[in-house]
């Protein structure tokens, strides 16, 4: 007991004599915003794993539930539950909306081409709203490295996420499905800063669209790059690491509650005279027009948060349009 008292006294004397409590508290408060910006992306990963956990439970109890479900797809009810979770998150945290649904063809397949944010959280919200609306399920293409992450395969199985080849994408479209692809992929997610489209010479989506004769619809989410960003310090090192491994290494920060609106562009219909290169250029130009029309460049996190307030959003957009006219 005496030894314990001596230890406590030593700790107390050490803290009092050598540690400035006020300075420690001040330093903690100063660093707290920085720590939070790096912790918020982890919340998205946690939410994804919670989603995977819910799906595992659903799969475990499928034998008991299948008699109560009339659909032959065991994931249909689970998809709706997952979509409801993500739709609620998008509405609460980002005031998420979709504009331009009237541009979608009434029937038949659609190939959605989108800009890839640092974290494609806008795509999760878009898929959720589409699934809960009359439009239904949108298949998606994801990078191969994601399928090596524990827990991702069950998400992919439920939400119809595929690695994606020209043949598999074309087959899905020929079957009349919706399909979403980001030609920029992880490279665009990690290294695009001011909403540049970084497609290089990727033509796979154009070949799939021409082979299936499906219309291509560009979509862009306003402020997606303000919600999450990749760290720009050490960019050249991360770029080399990515070129060697095809794995993203640039750390992410953010989770800011910016206003998000997904804008759906006019469809680009099948034209037999177009080559894959021509179609890629046309889609690229159409998506760039969407970005130029709806996105403040360079982006501003604070203004994007203030746009959650309708009055300020109208005022900020009015000022932005005046600057464009000048």
C-alpha to C-alpha distance for 317 and 187, rounded to whole angstroms: 30
Count of CB atoms situated within 10 Å of the CB of 26: 11
C-alpha to C-alpha distance for 88 and 93, rounded to whole angstroms: 8
C-alpha to C-alpha distance for 110 and 100, rounded to whole angstroms: 14
Residues contacting residue 289 through CB under 8 Å, at least 6 positions apart: 265
Q: Is 89 a catalytic residue?
A: no
Tell me phi and psi for residue 282, to 5 degrees: -70, -45
Return the beta strands (E) in the chain as ranges.
97-99, 110-114, 138-141, 161-162, 178-181, 216-222, 228-230, 252-254, 261-264
Q: Are 180 and 129 in contact (CB under 8 A)?
A: no
Residues contacting residue 154 through CB under 8 Å, at least 6 positions apart: 52, 55, 56, 59
Long-range Cβ contact pairs of 316-320 (< 8 A, separation 24 or more): 320/296
Structure tokens at 280: 């890629």
Count of CB atoms situated within 10 Å of the CB of 164: 21
Catalytic-labelled residue, pool 61, 89, 99, 116 = 116
Structure tokens at 194: 């001011």
User: 3-state class of 147 per DSSP?
Assistant: helix
Burial 175-211 (b: 16+ CB within 10 A, else e): eebbbbbbbbbbbbbbbbeebebbbeeebbbbbbbbb
The DSSP output letter for 44 is: H
C-alpha to C-alpha distance for 326 and 322, rounded to whole angstroms: 6
Give the active site residues.
116
């Amino acid at each position: 007991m005496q030894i314990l008292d001596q230890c406590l006294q030593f700790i107390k004397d050490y803290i009092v004599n050598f540690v400035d409590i006020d300075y420690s508290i001040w330093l903690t408060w100063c660093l707290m915003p920085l720590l939070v910006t790096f912790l918020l992306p982890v919340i998205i990963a946690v939410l994804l794993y919670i989603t995977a956990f819910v799906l595992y439970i659903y799969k475990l109890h499928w034998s008991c539930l299948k008699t109560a479900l009339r659909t032959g797809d065991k994931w249909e009810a689970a998809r709706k539950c997952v979509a409801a979770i993500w739709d609620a998150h998008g509405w609460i945290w980002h005031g998420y909306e979709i504009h331009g649904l009237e541009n979608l063809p009434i029937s038949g397949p659609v190939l959605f081409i989108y800009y890839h944010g640092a974290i494609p959280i806008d795509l999760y919200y878009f898929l959720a709203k589409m699934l809960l609306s009359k439009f239904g399920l949108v298949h998606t293409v994801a990078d191969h490295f994601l399928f090596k992450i524990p827990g991702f395969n069950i998400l992919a199985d439920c939400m119809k996420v595929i690695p994606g080849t020209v043949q598999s994408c074309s087959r899905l479209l020929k079957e009349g499905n919706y399909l979403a692809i980001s030609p920029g992929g992880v490279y665009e997610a990690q290294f695009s800063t001011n909403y540049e489209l970084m497609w290089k010479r990727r033509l796979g989506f154009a070949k799939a669209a021409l082979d299936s004769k499906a219309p291509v619809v560009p979509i862009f989410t306003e402020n997606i790059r303000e919600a999450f960003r990749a760290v720009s310090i050490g960019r050249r090192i991360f770029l080399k690491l990515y070129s060697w491994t095809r794995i993203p290494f640039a750390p992410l920060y953010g989770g800011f509650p910016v206003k998000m609106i997904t804008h759906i562009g006019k469809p680009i219909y099948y034209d037999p005279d177009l080559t894959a290169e021509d179609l890629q250029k046309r889609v690229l130009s159409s998506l760039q027009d969407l970005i130029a029309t709806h996105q403040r460049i360079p982006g501003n996190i604070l203004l994007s948060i203030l746009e959650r307030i309708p009055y300020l959003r109208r005022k900020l957009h009015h000022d932005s349009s005046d600057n464009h006219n000048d």
